[in-house]
Each structure stands twice: as structure tokens, then as C-alpha cells.
Amino acid sequence: MTGMDQVRALSVPLPEDILKHKWAGELEAAAEAIDARLERADLPQPMRERLTCEKERLRRLPLQYPWNRAEALQKLQELIPDVTDEEFAGMERQGIVDFIYYHGEKRYFIRFHKSIAKRHEYLARAGQRVSPVSAFLAPLIAEAKEKGVIARRITLETSIAPEEDAFEPGVYRVWLPVPALTAQQSEIEILSGVPSHVSPETAEARSAYWEKQLDKPERFTITYRYLNTIHYADPLHREAPSAPLYPNALPVCEDDLAEDGTYIRFTPYLRRLAAELSAGLERPVDKAWAFYGFVTKKVNYAFVRNYFQIDDHGEYCAVNQLGDCGLQALLFISLCRIAGIPARWQSGLAVEPEYTGSHDWAQFYLDGWGWLFCDPSFGGSAFRAGSEERHAYYFGNLEPMRMAANRVYMAELDPPMKGLRIDPFDNQSGEMERVGADRPFVGRDVDDTARMISAEEV
């Protein structure tokens, strides 16, 4: 049984007694109930895989919820000083404060306060200036519209290292994402770094791989250059071009319309939501625009616990009406596929001079136009800032300040990872494991580990 086999089994429901123990904060009792079932010889294999995976989820879960209520309120007041205890309680009732019960006490998500500080109604109170104009994005969007095409040759340095507190000597296997050949990305060069192996440019999840004996923590670093080219599209208001904008994009296939395992599931709620949002609409572009409108206007951006801890990613985003860039992209993809519109995943990095970090977005297919892009989280940010132009731009387009490493969600690494990954669904920040370890390794240092060296106009 591989780690990916276990993750694929997350679509199997948990037995009710285990679920009750888990959400009551009785994680040890939940683990004991799992062990009792795993001892049964007649346990079906899908349930065995699900329960084995759940034990690891139980181990990791409290690590993401470190604060009691007093500590949580203090963390929030560090960002929004005038928040009161009563207001904090109201936020809990509204469902915008993420917590679990653990040993009879509420414990709060490690980044909940940063999610609240990003909500439009709290930005000014958090000391952030709210403006419809983005000094970084506005010139890029203007250039794309004026020229019809915008390109940048980008050079990045990225790295990963084991955290010192989690390190033990041994043989380490490391996967660090690198640019893949995509519809918009080409002319890829590895400039420095000596990995043991680099995936083919066409890999579903491309990475540089190292396998090395470490006696002390060591950082694995790679530098690369690539060309990112975006063709401006306005599918809502313009006729389709005579040829697709991205002729090198992979053709539509059955997977672009399909459910897939634990993360793109056409649940009854999502089917009804897609039908409601697209009611009376005939053109696929209008349906896709309606789905984009729901995700960007009704879903609030929020940092969420690791995707490994969430069972139905798209539905979670729709039901709770909150999610980060990946959950928003998955919800858009799911709604499109339900409506018969081919849709795909892309992820990697969003690149800026001051900060480069993990990011996810989507692609969708329209006859005549071919494959286009959609970034719901950037679009939602634009909507809440009051920029209709920027909101509309991210339906059909990206700017070129991206690095795309992954084009299939939950793609296998190259070479395959033996144990459970830190993020089994996506590889944006890198993965690491120690050969022979009793438990999956989760102690990687990925903070501020990507740096833009240059972005040359082409």
C-alpha cells in the first residue's frame, strides 16, 4: 500500500464512532478505534487504506491548531488592535474563525488571524490601504490589453531544507518543483543546482530530485530561467479568434470533464449549485462567467488547514464559502466540468520582486478560443478592492508573473515518493522524506525560499 493509495481512499467515509471521537477532540481514542478495526482480517481494503491514512491525519491535525482562546485573541489583536472579546465571539458564530476541540479545549488554526485580516471589512482596521489600483498588476494588465500579448523571461532561485528541530541524520529524498512546458511557458533552462534527476518538461508535476546522505541539515537549491507568454483574451465580449490563442496546449481529453478521486467530485450539492448558477444560460462562456462570479464574489479568501485534512475540496469551498487559491480554483474546475465545460488545473508560484510564493489557478476550454486561464483568487481580490477591470481580466487571462510546475492535481512525483507526502495533492513548495523513517517526514523549511532574480520584458 503506497502513500498515494491511502490518499485516494480519503473518499471513503469514516466510521461514525471514529468521526465522533475526532471532532470531540479525543484524537487518541479515535486512533485506538482505528487500530481495533485494522486488526480485523475481514476489513475491506478500501477501508483499511482510509483508516491507515486517517491515523496520519490525526497525528498532524493538532500541529495546525496551537493556540487556546486567549492566545488566539492576542494573535488577532496583533493585526487588528481594536478587536474585542465580544467581537471575536461573533466571528466564531459567523464561521470565519477556524478551531477544533482538543482534549476538551478549543484550539485555533495557526493562520486564522491572517485570514481575517485579509477580509475586506477588516483591511482598514488592520492598517492596510484599500485601493482599486494595484501598482504591480495594473501596468501588466494594461500592457497585455494594449499589445495583445505580454511576455517575460523570468529567472528564479528556489530551495528547500529540513527544519533543524525535525532533522535526524540519514538518506533524504527531495523533490523541488521546476518549470514545466505548458501552454504559456517555454524556453526552460536549468542554470545552477546539481540534482540527481530532473523530470521531463512534459511531466504532470515537474520537479528536480535529490537523494543524498545528510549528517546535518542542508539546503537544496536550484536556479532556472523560462519564458512566460500570455495572449490577451476577452471571451465575453469578443468573437473567437481564427485559431486558438495557445496552439501548443495539450488537446482536450476525457479527464478534463471527469470526476477524479477525492478532490473533484460531482456531489449532489455541487450539481445543484452548478444548475442554479447556469439556469437560463446557453453559451458555455456565460456559464463559466457565472461560476467565476460565484467563486470571486461569494467565496472569501482564507488560509485553510492542509488539504490533507479536507475530504471534499471543491465542496468544502462552496459550503463554507471560504478557501484559498487552490480550493477556489478546484471549485471553479468542478462547476465547469459538471456543466460540460472542459477545465484543468495549474499551479506553481506567483512571482513578484518583493515576494514569490505558492499559487494555484485554473484553465477552461471554449470552442474557437481553445484553452484560456482563470484565477479566481486574484479575481476575488480585485472585486473586493473595487476593480471591475482587474476582476474581468482574470476570467480568460493571467499576467506572465507565474511559474507553472504542475498541470494535474494529485499527480505522482518523479521518482514516486514512498510514503505520505506533506501535500499529497500538489507540489508547489517541495517534498522531502527520510528513507526508513517510522513516520512520514513533515519538518521541511519552506518559508521565504523562492526569490525572483530577474523578469526581463520580451
Planar angle of CA 248, 250, 255, nearest 5 degrees:
165
- Per the rule left: phi > 0, alpha: psi between -120 and 50, beta: everything else, 389 is alpha
Low-confidence ranges of the chain (pLDDT < 50): none
CA dihedral 180, 186, 189, 194 (to 10 degrees): 10
Task: Output the pLDDT for position 127.
Answer: 87
Pick the CATH number of 148-458 from 3.90.79.10, 3.10.450.100, 3.10.620.30, 3.40.50.720: 3.10.620.30
DSSP letter assigned to residue 260: B
- Per the rule left: phi > 0, alpha: psi between -120 and 50, beta: everything else, 404 is beta
Distance (Å, rounded) from C-alpha 207 to C-alpha 204?
Answer: 10
Question: What DSSP element (H or E) covers 4?
Answer: helix 3-8
Q: CB under 8 Å to 345, separation ≥6 — which residues?
A: 329, 330, 333, 360, 362, 363, 406, 407, 408, 409
Task: Output the pLDDT for position 418.
Answer: 86
Distance (Å, rounded) from C-alpha 174 to C-alpha 210?
Answer: 5
Question: What DSSP element (H or E) covers 122?
Answer: helix 120-123
Task: Output the pLDDT for position 446.
Answer: 66
Measure CA 32 to chain center. 32
Question: Which residue do the cell numbers 506553481 mark?
Answer: 348
Percent of the chain with pLDDT over 70: 99
Q: Over the stretch 48-89, which tens digit does the pLDDT of each residue have?
A: 999 999 999 999 999 999 999 999 999 999 999 999 999 999
Q: In terms of Cα–Cα distance, which of 204, 225, 232 is closest to 373?
A: 232
Q: Over the stretch 181-220, which tens digit does the pLDDT of each residue have?
A: 999 999 999 999 999 999 999 999 999 999 999 999 999 9
Q: Where are the domains of the chain?
A: 3-64, 69-123, 148-458
Question: What DSSP element (H or E) covers 220?
Answer: strand 220-231
pTM of the model as a whole = 0.96
Cα Rg of the chain, angstroms: 22
